[in-house]
Amino acid sequence: MIDTKTLTQLGAHVETPQSPEEAVLETVPFSRGDGPPAIVRFTCPEFTSLCPVTGQPDFAHIVIDYAPDAALVESKSLKLFMTSFRNHGAFHEDCTVMIGRRIVAATKPLWLRIGGYWYPRGGIPIDVFWQTGAPPEGAWLPDTGVAPYRGRG
């Protein structure tokens, strides 16, 4: 069984962080084993942040795929981190890349890619993609499952 004594959020009442900078991404150990690396996917179809100019809410469907090495991101801490963007004003590109970089910093994965499929602002949907490099040899990478914009939903 995994030792969870170092986790501060799992199993505890935790207030939503007021900003992504305040949010803590926690990790748990992962034993990769032999063979091709596993790909872990997190999907956040109701992501929200704020426009840094108008303060109006922006909405996105975020898909994160990563190949963990020795650590997994703990999912409750990830949910709290993602929710902290509701009070955060930043452009779509900045939000998407910030999420990817924070997960990389916390978990040091073999590989990570993130797709931010943003709903239209001013009639133009903005899709943002970022990854750490080439996918690992032998890894199965499924399609993100998010259709090009035609009233996403």
What CA–CA distance (Å, rounded) separates 54 from 34?
A: 50
What positions carry a catalytic annotation?
A: 51, 58
C-alpha 19: how far from chain center:
15
Four-residue CA torsion sign, 9, 10, 16, 17: positive
Give the CA radius of gyration of the chain.
Answer: 16
